[in-house]
A and B are shown apart, each in its own frame.
Chain A
Amino acid sequence: MSFDEWILALHVLSAFAYVAGIVLFWVLVVAVRRADTPEETIRMTPMAMVGNAAVGIGAGGTILFGIWLAFSYGDYDIWDPWIIAALVLWAIAGAFGQRTGVVYMAGASKARELADAGQSGPNAELLALNRSSQGVIFHAASSIVVLIIVIVMIWKPGA
């Protein structure tokens, strides 16, 4: 394998990590909708950290190795329309993902606040935060944009 082929493998592995993180967060988005106690909400935090790591490594790796490949591969240039489209979509997906994180962190913060105050029973405000429709919309938007990136990477329109 050449150096570029190694970089391509790392680029694709990063993309897998990114999507794996998104899938993990989908499961958490569904699971947390039933969590109305601080304990149930806080229990999902370690899983969310795994998801954050996967998305972080995935997003960082795809952009870093992707840009390297755009400069290194003879057939592709950084200003190719499909590469520019992918870069723009990557930024949009990241922005949606960041907003999703902010929305669901509010539930996690509330759960810690309630736990610190010694409240362990069901809490309507916590349940409302965990059931945020805004969070679902942002995560769906992020997922759709990543799906479009995969389509762009495979079809390479304009290449």
Chain B
Amino acid sequence: MTELLATVRPDDWNFPLFLHVLGATILVGATLTCASALAFARGEVKLLRLGYFTLLAVGLPSYVLMWGAAHWIYSKEGLDDAPIDFTWVTIGFVVAEGGALVFIAALITGGIGIRRLPSGGEGLLKATLVLSLVLLAAFVVAVWAMAGKPD
């Protein structure tokens, strides 16, 4: 199936696919960086801020790029009005759109936590850490589905 798709994929899908992959890889990197910084901060304000602002300044634009390019590819395939009938596409949509809600929740809790630093807010940033780890796990499943294309 994948071999067939790779063989028949029209050339004009390559650029939006490149943008989708670029956004997705940077998003995974930003989420990993955020989770690492928050996990190893142990109350250190600079690392807590580094983790949060990586998610905001690197993660958010890359999420928009990944999501926008995914919809661009989808419309190029002429599937906008068609029912979603592939498992891998369903997984992609669930992770991209459900993940967006989790991502926004992580940004909001983290943002409030950062504003409360240094006297408080660590609990909220721990919530951001947990949400980042949940996102990372979901992204791994999405990448597996996008690449392996299970029926």
What is A's interface to B at a CB cutoff of 8 Å?
A: 1, 4-6, 8-9, 11-13, 15-16, 19-24, 27, 31, 40, 43-44, 46-47, 50-51, 54, 73-75, 147, 150-151, 154-155
Contacts and interface: CB of A to CB of B under 8 A. Distances in A.
30 contacts: A1-B149, A5-B1, A5-B2, A5-B148, A8-B2, A8-B147, A12-B143, A12-B144, A15-B25, A16-B24, A16-B143, A19-B26, A20-B25, A20-B29, A21-B32, A23-B33, A24-B29, A31-B46, A40-B46, A43-B40, A43-B44, A44-B47, A47-B33, A47-B37, A47-B47, A75-B3, A147-B22, A150-B21, A154-B17, A155-B11
Interface residues of B, number: 38
Contacts of A50: 32, 36
Interface in B7-23: 7, 11, 14, 17-18, 21-22
A15 B58 CA distance: 19
Interface in B107-151: 139-140, 143-144, 146-151
Interface of B: 1-3, 6-7, 11, 14, 17-18, 21-22, 24-26, 28-30, 32-33, 36-37, 40, 44, 46-47, 50, 54, 58, 139-140, 143-144, 146-151
Contacts of A23: 25-26, 28-30, 32-33, 58
A6 B46 contact: no
Contact of B18 (A4, A12, A51, A154): A154
A21 to B, nearest CB: 7
A140 B22 CA distance: 16
What DSSP secondary structure best describes chain B's contact surface? helix
Contact of B50 (A15, A27, A147): A27
A23 B21 CA distance: 14
A13 B140 contact: yes
A20 B30 CA distance: 7
A129 B47 CA distance: 20
A17 to B, nearest CB: 8
B5 to A, nearest CB: 11
Nearest 4 CB-CB pairs, A to B?
Answer: A23-B29, A9-B148, A12-B147, A19-B25
Contacts of A22: 29
Contact of B146 (A12, A51, A54): A12
Which of B3, B143, B148, B151 is packed against the most chain A CB atoms within 10 Å?
B148
A19 B26 CA distance: 7
B85 to A, nearest CB: 17
